[in-house]
Amino acid sequence: MLEDYDPDGFFCEYQGDAQRQQVLAGLLKRLNGTTPKELTRLSKAVDRELYNLGITFTLYHEGSSVDRVLPFDLIPRVLTPADWEIIESGSIQRVQTLNLLLADIYGEQKCIKDGILPADLVFKNPNYRPEMVGLKVPENCYVNVCGVDVVRGGDGQFVVLEDNARSPSGVSYVVENRQLMRRTMPNLFEGMNVRPVLDYGLRLHHALCEAAPAGVSDPQVVLLSPGPFNSAYFEHVFLAREMGIPLVTGQDMVVENDKVYMRTTGGLMPVHVIYRRINDDFLDPEVFREDSMLGVPGLMRAYAKGNITIANAVGTGVADDKGVYAYIPRLIKYYLDQDAILPNVPTNLCREKDGLQYTLDNLDKLVTKPVGEAGGYGVVIGPRASLRELEATRKAIEKDPANYISQPMVELSVSPTLISGRVEPRHVDLRPFCVTGKSTWVLPGGLTRVALKKGSLVVNSSQGGGSKDTWVLE
Q: What is the reported pLDDT for 373?
A: 61
Percent with pLDDT over 90 in the chain: 74
Residues near 132 by Cβ (< 8 Å), separated by ≥ 6?
A: 106, 313, 314, 315
pLDDT at 224 > cutoff 90: yes
- Who wins on pLDDT, 133 or 374? 133
- Angle at the Cα of 448 from the Cα atoms of 447 and 449, rounded to 5 degrees: 110
pLDDT at 60 > cutoff 70: no
pLDDT single digits (tens) 295-307: 999 999 999 999 9
User: How many Cα atoms occupy the beta-carbon half-sphere of 284 within 13 Å?
Assistant: 18
pLDDT single digits (tens) 70-103: 889 999 999 999 999 999 999 999 999 999 999 9
For the purposes of burial, counting CB atoms within 10 Å of the CB of 19, is it exposed (0-12), middle (13-18) or buried (19 or more)? exposed
pLDDT at 236 > cutoff 90: yes
Q: What is the mean pLDDT of the chain?
A: 92
Number of H helices, E strands in the chain: 13, 22
Residue 417: strand, helix, or coil: strand
Q: What is the reported pLDDT for 197?
A: 96
Band of pLDDT at residue 65, cut at 50, 70 and 90: low
pLDDT single digits (tens) 111-161: 999 999 999 889 988 899 999 999 999 989 999 999 999 999 999 999 999
Q: What is the reported pLDDT for 4?
A: 80
pLDDT (average), residues 454-474: 85
- 3-state helix, strand, coil split of the chain in percent (to 5) is 35, 25, 40
Residue 398: strand, helix, or coil: helix
Q: What is the reported pLDDT for 232?
A: 87
- Angle at the Cα of 369 from the Cα atoms of 363 and 374, rounded to 5 degrees: 160
Its pTM stands at 0.92
Band of pLDDT at residue 372, cut at 50, 70 and 90: low
Q: What is the reported pLDDT for 342?
A: 97
pLDDT single digits (tens) 399-451: 999 889 999 999 899 999 999 888 999 999 999 999 999 999 999 999 999 99
Q: What is the reported pLDDT for 191?
A: 86
pLDDT at 375 > cutoff 60: no
